[in-house]
Structure 1
Amino acid sequence: MGPYQAAIVRIGFAGAWLIFLLREWPNRQELYGPDSPWSWHLAEELIANNNAFSVLMWSQSNAWFESVYLLAVLSSVALMIGWRTRTMSVLFMIGVLSLQNRSIFMGDGSDNVIHLMAIYLVLTRCAQVWSLDARRAARTAARGAGGGGAAERDLVGMVLWAVCGAALVVVTLGPGLSGGWALIYWGLWLVAALWWAANRFAPGEPRTVLDVIANLVHNATLVVIMFEVCLIYSTAGWYKIQGSRWQDGTAAYYPMKLDYFAPWPELNDVFAGNGLIIMVMTYLTVMVQVAFPFTLFNRKVKNILLAVMIAEHLSIAVLLGLPIFSLAMIAADAVFLPTAALLWMGARSAGLTARLRRAFGGATGATAQGGGRVPGQARRTGQAEQPGQPGQPVQDGQTERQRDADTTVTLPR
């Protein structure tokens, strides 16, 4: 369920965390490093009480902090583009938890959402489309369909698995990893080994059973993400209703007059100086947040309200100077976007990529290796393509129409 929604959530949250890390690169020492006002000993005392996870508590050295921060940046890039997503989602979670639990007072509200979604993404199959993993799977299937024989061994995946296993051995034998977190990471490592063994030695029914289990976990996690988004909006809306400033329609005025939330004071003055606009913004915010969970029963109403909420977050990014918070909430809202809208966005992105390639003398979208069509786009023959099954690449001297008529390749999920 929802392969495109899961993919856009993956891209959105990995991108939001990456932008935050890069933006705060000059300030990283003061935010999460040795120069943080929330000292290492204070963080150690808090984590000892709440059993939170942070690899930054394993050492006070500056070199270790820089390594963890760089790992968080690289894992965010890899997860966003969908490279080795199973491994990178775990490393992404480690980076998010380690930095945020090191200094709990840093963030603007987006940190809570990213914190939760980083955990959920580990349990989703969020690389079925719009990822390098999906493109690699399409190429492998195309080689097999073209008589290329068995697929080559995944050496990169085996190396990653071995390196992660060696790292787990080191930190488990040392003072770093123990208790429930050790069980979680060792369990994920063993699941990856089981998946590889099923693909390699038991591609029949055992592989099918594992695939069904993975789909069940993925679907259940998507339901949890949807519930989480509804919970965020409903609680925010009901708390606002209890506030007197929200009741009299003036609440939106006050944050726009604070210097901290006014990147463009002149623009804020235009909105804050109009009482009707302030009243509409205040009441509309409350109504949208309270009503959103109930609109899920009607697709058309839900889509309209979803567009209003995304526009609201964009206005928060501009007027209040909270772009990371807005991007994180839009990424969370994307789990409710209709598949048709996501396919349209993918088609426009693919068209833009093709034009850029032509402009710089590269391959066009129709002849590039790995297929030029957007994954999931309907075949020209009228046959619907299953979610998560990208179009096959066009061979030399073969038109796309002929390719679709002659071959049908079913990719493993």
Structure 2
Amino acid sequence: MGTEQIPRIAPTAPASGRSGDRPDACSGPVQWLVDRTAAAGELLTARPVSLYAASVLRIGYGLLYLVFLLREFPHRDEIWGPNSPWTPALARELFDQTGWNSILTLSDSRAYFELCYALALVTSALFVLGWRTRVLSVLFAVVVVSFHARAIFMTDGGDNLVLLMAIYLAFTACGRRWSLDARRIRLKAARTEAPAPQVKRHFLRQLRVSLATLTTVVHNCGMFVIAAQVCFLYGSAGLFKVQGASWGAGTALHYVLNLRLFQPWPALSHLVDQHTILIAIAGYMTVLLQVAFPFVLFGRLKYPVLTMLLGMHLGIAVLMGLPLFSGAMIIADSAFLPDRFYTVLPQLCRRVALRAGLGRPAPSRATGAGSVPAQGRPASAAGSVKSPSANT
């Protein structure tokens, strides 16, 4: 498929003046549009983007939902079980109107519900570990959708975001980094000394190339949808706040801190509420950060913005008692950090541990081991392209 096999043909003079004017036809805005389209196509098909960020999303949301299920384990029957006030019959009646579905309503048996709950815990744990991620990502999405739909009137913003992210992650290659799948492939490659046999049939080579390209495109589109979802969430939340009179007056957080429904520690809420100027500044900064978030993602300004958003979500978790929502938002923000951040972070933690006397120096590795591993198919001939299933 390389262009080096095509014989070079000497250019000939144009047959007419009309043909000679063709380069001018693609100049200006048309040429700019062609270049941008080619760049977008190259970005979608060249290599998978943000593989480390996808793995962080997998670990984060899988662990968050696992903790959520363990936290609600004593109350599981009251929320999702057959003896719940929102009975399976009422849930099925609602599903007929909304189009939702849940595996929990397939049977009213208590044993069936306990089996589903145990399988949900196992699925979440294996999803965090990255074992057979291509299958587990789909099962995890089914688990989240089923539990969300079974008790849809007991959900909040955090549940909705986890639901969306679980569906999006099913389309991404979220198991290529920091997973048992990646470890298994790495050990298999280390044990195999001989190079992989090349596929001689042209059809099979093209099929493998097409599957690898399709996997890359689906993963990249999934990551772009995740980024767009977070941008839309922040932007819409900021624009809604701008329309409110209390946010414009700087008193919105004062009323929030005095809502008894969102006071896990009333004494702490009243203590914070005494600093009126800081409360007003925090309210204005919240609106500014949310509105400006989609516009600062393409520069270094996003790092201080993400840091301030981290502090905002931690404050929401502590002062308002919404840890699931805050955790879901913090994990979603991690999708905007580049892969080089995640590769440098372990080295930085190791240096800090060495300075504190808590660790040992890492064993020497080959040159370039600290760089981001190759994420796309090799640039060699098509016969050496690996199977896409080996990268998941």
Q: Verify same fold: TM over 0.5.
A: yes
Match of residue 317 from structure 1: 317
**Conserved in 1, the CA contact under 8 Å of 2:100 and 2:149?**
yes
For residues 251 and 315 of structure 2, the distance between their equivalents in structure 1, rounded to whole angstroms, comes to: 17
Sort the Cα spacing of 1:97 and 1:280 in 2 relative to 1 into closer, same or farther, 3 A.
Answer: same
Sort the Cα spacing of 1:128 and 1:353 in 2 relative to 1 into closer, same or farther, 3 A.
Answer: farther
SS in 1 for 2:85: coil
Sort the Cα spacing of 1:387 and 1:276 in 2 relative to 1 into closer, same or farther, 3 A.
Answer: farther
Match of residue 259 from structure 2: 258
For residues 313 and 285 of structure 2, the distance between their equivalents in structure 1, rounded to whole angstroms, comes to: 13
Match of residue 291 from structure 1: 292
**1:352 Cα offset (Å):** 9.8
Match of residue 135 from structure 2: 87
**1:384 Cα offset (Å):** 4.5
* Unaligned segments of structure 1, at least 5 residues: 152-197, 374-378, 390-409
1:329 aligns to 2:377 (yes or no): no
1:96 aligns to 2:144 (yes or no): yes
**1:316 Cα offset (Å):** 0.9
**1:383 Cα offset (Å):** 8.7
**Conserved in 1, the CA contact under 8 Å of 2:88 and 2:108?**
yes
Match of residue 280 from structure 2: 279
SS in 2 for 1:66: helix
For residues 116 and 325 of structure 2, the distance between their equivalents in structure 1, rounded to whole angstroms, comes to: 23
Sort the Cα spacing of 1:230 and 1:385 in 2 relative to 1 into closer, same or farther, 3 A.
Answer: closer
Q: Which moved more, 1:28-37 or 1:231-240?
A: 28-37
Match of residue 79 from structure 2: 31
Match of residue 303 from structure 2: 303
**Conserved in 1, the CA contact under 8 Å of 2:343 and 2:372?**
no
Match of residue 170 from structure 1: none
Aligned partner of 1:326: which letter? S
**Conserved in 2, the CA contact under 8 Å of 1:3 and 1:387?**
no
Sort the Cα spacing of 1:346 and 1:130 in 2 relative to 1 into closer, same or farther, 3 A.
Answer: farther
Sort the Cα spacing of 1:265 and 1:383 in 2 relative to 1 into closer, same or farther, 3 A.
Answer: closer
Sort the Cα spacing of 1:112 and 1:382 in 2 relative to 1 into closer, same or farther, 3 A.
Answer: closer
1:114 aligns to 2:115 (yes or no): no
For residues 9 and 128 of structure 1, the distance between their equivalents in structure 2, rounded to whole angstroms, comes to: 12
For residues 361 and 127 of structure 2, the distance between their equivalents in structure 1, rounded to whole angstroms, comes to: 23
**Conserved in 2, the CA contact under 8 Å of 1:124 and 1:221?**
yes
For residues 22 and 254 of structure 1, the distance between their equivalents in structure 2, rounded to whole angstroms, comes to: 33
Match of residue 9 from structure 2: none
For residues 82 and 150 of structure 1, the distance between their equivalents in structure 2, rounded to whole angstroms, comes to: 25
**Conserved in 2, the CA contact under 8 Å of 1:313 and 1:329?**
yes
> Of the two, which has the highest radius of gyration?
2
For residues 215 and 353 of structure 2, the distance between their equivalents in structure 1, rounded to whole angstroms, comes to: 32
Match of residue 232 from structure 1: 233
Counterparts in 2 of 1:392-403, with a 5 A limit? none
Question: Please, which of 186, 190, 196 is the counterpart of residue 138 of structure 1?
Answer: 186
**Conserved in 2, the CA contact under 8 Å of 1:128 and 1:388?**
no
Q: Deviation per CA, 1:193-212, whole angstroms, max 9, x where unpaired?
A: xxxxx9xxx97442222111
For residues 130 and 110 of structure 1, the distance between their equivalents in structure 2, rounded to whole angstroms, comes to: 25
Q: What's the TM-score once normalised by structure 2's chain length? A: 0.76
Match of residue 367 from structure 2: 380
SS in 1 for 2:83: coil
Question: Please, which of 41, 44, 47 is the counterpart of residue 95 of structure 2?
Answer: 47
**1:326 Cα offset (Å):** 0.8
Aligned partner of 1:295: which letter? V
* Unaligned segments of structure 2, at least 5 residues: 1-48, 377-385
**Conserved in 1, the CA contact under 8 Å of 2:50 and 2:338?**
no
For residues 353 and 109 of structure 2, the distance between their equivalents in structure 1, rounded to whole angstroms, comes to: 43
Aligned partner of 2:300: which letter? K
Sort the Cα spacing of 1:366 and 1:50 in 2 relative to 1 into closer, same or farther, 3 A.
Answer: same
SS in 2 for 1:105: helix
SS in 2 for 1:229: helix
Percent of residue pairs bearing the same amino acid type: 41
Q: Which moved more, 1:246-255 or 1:135-144?
A: 246-255
Counterparts in 2 of 1:193-272, with a 5 A limit? 204-272=205-273
**Conserved in 1, the CA contact under 8 Å of 2:51 and 2:177?**
yes
**Conserved in 1, the CA contact under 8 Å of 2:340 and 2:372?**
no
**1:387 Cα offset (Å):** 4.2
Number of residue pairs matched?
Answer: 326
Q: What's the TM-score once normalised by structure 1's chain length? A: 0.72
For residues 75 and 303 of structure 1, the distance between their equivalents in structure 2, rounded to whole angstroms, comes to: 33
1:345 aligns to 2:332 (yes or no): no
Sort the Cα spacing of 1:219 and 1:71 in 2 relative to 1 into closer, same or farther, 3 A.
Answer: same
Sort the Cα spacing of 1:338 and 1:383 in 2 relative to 1 into closer, same or farther, 3 A.
Answer: closer
For residues 98 and 351 of structure 1, the distance between their equivalents in structure 2, rounded to whole angstroms, comes to: 44
Aligned partner of 1:129: which letter? R
**1:318 Cα offset (Å):** 1.3
Counterparts in 2 of 1:124-135, with a 5 A limit? 124-135=172-183
Q: Deviation per CA, 1:9-36, whole angstroms, max 9, x where unpaired?
A: 1111111111111111101111111232
Sort the Cα spacing of 1:382 and 1:143 in 2 relative to 1 into closer, same or farther, 3 A.
Answer: closer
SS in 2 for 1:310: helix
**1:127 Cα offset (Å):** 0.9
Sort the Cα spacing of 1:257 and 1:15 in 2 relative to 1 into closer, same or farther, 3 A.
Answer: same
1:56 aligns to 2:104 (yes or no): yes
Q: Deviation per CA, 1:103-155, whole angstroms, max 9, x where unpaired?
A: 1012231110011111111100011111111010100111113x5x989xxxx
For residues 280 and 250 of structure 1, the distance between their equivalents in structure 2, rounded to whole angstroms, comes to: 10
Structure of higher RCO (CA pairs closer than 8 Å, 6+ residues apart):
2
**1:246 Cα offset (Å):** 0.9
Sort the Cα spacing of 1:388 and 1:309 in 2 relative to 1 into closer, same or farther, 3 A.
Answer: same
Q: CA RMSD in A?
A: 2.9
Question: Please, which of 12, 19, 29 is the counterpart of residue 67 of structure 2?
Answer: 19
Q: Which moved more, 1:338-347 or 1:121-130?
A: 338-347
1:7 aligns to 2:55 (yes or no): yes
Match of residue 27 from structure 2: none
